[in-house]
Amino acid sequence: MNEIEPVVAEGAHSSSSGAEGAQTSPRIAEGAQAWPRADHSTEPACGRAPMGLLAELTYRCPLQCPYCSNPLEMDKPSTELSTAEWQRVFKEAAELGILQLHLSGGEPTARKDLEELVKTASQSGMYTNLITAGVLLTKDRLKALQDAGLDHLQLSIQDVDEANAEKISAYKGGLAKKRELCGWMHALGMPLTVNAPIHRANIENLPAIVEFAVAMGANRLEVAHVQYYAWALKNRAALMPTREQMMKTVEIVDAAKEKYKGIMVFDFVVPDYYASRPKPCMGGWGRGSMNITPSGRVLPCHAAESIPGLEFDNVRNKSLSDIWLTGQAFEKYRGTSWMKEPCRSCDRREIDWGGCRCQAMMMTGDPTNVDPACGLSPRHAEFVALATAESHVTTPPPFVYRRLGGTVG
């Protein structure tokens, strides 16, 4: 229907690289290579070593968004990895082949040592991306992060309607702080991505969100329909848009892509409840990226702890490369050998990798089943009906806000 690219897992598509045909032709004069009359466009890269690492530096966060991807039971601040531990992990990550480091949380700027961590990561050669709500940053700190080598900043917004943003995040005055931050970013010449999680409570403001990103000087806008795991799953009935609303966002984003071509790059993540094929979750389990929790557990994806029977190694006890190559949690659903029907014989098995294991677990109680987002799943109709029913409730339930210390009641 339109180009939709995964945001989390870089290089998620197994692509044929554009390199073939670029070799020396025997007929070409000595010392010269053939000029291939070919499309020199670039292709997303992929490889067997991991390319991306999401480092959740802390679960502390001043915001309480009800769609947070952090787990319901969060690591306590006292268990967080130390500065030296993260620095060692980042060096190991770069050696392992990680190219992109996403510094996330919680709110990563709640770590007072963030500048030191960025510096180490940057010196190790990784591309450093800070994923932040922006409300704790000062101009001086932003400058210090730039000096430390920060390559890029991704700023989340809850809405461009101030009162609604405050209701969603349970945080006062956030939008004004974000605007101020964008001004500093601009003054420092730093590249900005605006990330807007989209759900029932802000979906009608999408056109205004696009204009906000343009006005803030963003280079990129991620229009990311909420993915229903963790807190978002708990709040699904309050957040799920209708299929019609979702389809409208496709139109809005398509039109905006055209209007802002060459000005702002778009990423668009759709909710898989209304899809007929599952997303290639994480670009395939244990295939291109990994997550590290604040206390050092290494996960194939941020929701992996919802799957029973997986053993998660900790960077405090093992090297990152050991964990990636031989860790039980990574080996368990890597590749295709774990698959059952209809995945096993499906010709898309190395395209979507059977979808999402966590969602299969959640819906069917067995993570080796096909993702219910897939039209081939016997549970697919039920899955779609769930979203349809929840999204049409006239008065959605109140938000259960994300709070450290787990869910109460």
127 lies in the site for other proteins, by CB under 8 A: yes
> Which among 181, 112, 117, 109 has a CA at the least distance from the CA of 149?
117
Stretch of 64-72, 164-172, 260-268, 372-380 lying at the interface with other proteins (CB under 8 A): 260-268
Query: Does 409 participate in binding other proteins (rule CB under 8 A)?
Result: no
189 touches other proteins (CB under 8 A): yes
Q: Does 28 bind other proteins (CB under 8 A)?
A: yes
Segment interacting with other proteins (CB under 8 A) among 41-49, 82-90, 111-119, 372-380: 41-49
Q: Which residues, including other chains, have CB under 8 Å from residue 257's CB and lie 6 or more apart?
A: 266
Q: Does 122 bind other proteins (CB under 8 A)?
A: no
Question: What is the phi-psi region of residue 395: left when phi exceeds 0, alpha when psi lies from -120 to 50, beta otherwise?
Answer: beta
- CA atoms of 117 and 90, how far apart (whole Å): 8
Pairing of β 298-299 and β 289-292? antiparallel
| Residues 405, 72: Cα–Cα separation, whole Å | 8
Any contact of residue 378 with other proteins (CB under 8 A)?
no
CB closer to other proteins, 36 vs 396: 36
163 is a site residue for other proteins (CB under 8 A): no
**Pattern of binders to other proteins over 211-250, x per CB under 8 A?**
---xxxx-xx-x----------------------------
Contact between 261 and other proteins per CB under 8 A: yes
Binding other proteins (rule: CB under 8 A), the pick from 58, 87, 100, 120 is: 100
- Nearer to other proteins by Cβ, of 129 and 369: the residue is 129
Closest CA to 193 of 216, 170, 177: 216
Is residue 34 involved in binding other proteins (CB under 8 A)? yes
Residue 164 structure tokens: 């609604």
Q: How far is the CB of 205 from other proteins (least distance, A)?
A: 18
**Residue 1 in 3-state DSSP?**
coil
For 112-124, give one letter per residue: b (16+ CB within 10 A) or e.
eebbebbbbbbeb
| Segment 316 to 355, residues that bind other proteins, using CB under 8 A | none
Q: By C-beta, is 11 or 355 nearer to other proteins? A: 11
Q: CB neighbours of 119 closer than 8 A, spacing ≥ 6?
A: 148, 149
Contact flag: residue 121 with other proteins (CB under 8 A)? no
Per CB under 8 A, the segment of 77-85, 121-129, 317-325, 373-381 that binds other proteins is 121-129
Buried b (16+ CB within 10 A) or exposed e, 283-314: bbbbbbbbbbbbbbbbbbbbbbbbbeebebbe
Measured distance CA(33)–CA(35) in Å, rounded: 6
∠ Cα 379 383 386 (to 5°):
140
Tell the smallest beta-carbon distance from residue 125 to other proteins (Å): 8
Task: Kindly tell me which of 85 and 267 has the beta carbon lying closer to other proteins.
Answer: 267
Binding mask 50-89 for other proteins (x = CB under 8 A): -x--------------------------------------
The length of the chain is 409
Q: Say whether residue 43 binds other proteins (CB under 8 A).
A: yes
Among 190, 298, 360, 374, interactor with other proteins by CB under 8 A: 190
The region of 71-79, 185-193, 273-281, 339-347 touching other proteins under the rule CB under 8 A is 185-193
Retrieve residue 282's tokens.
């994480």
Q: Which stretch binds other proteins (CB under 8 A): 190-198, 241-249, 309-317, 397-405?
A: 190-198
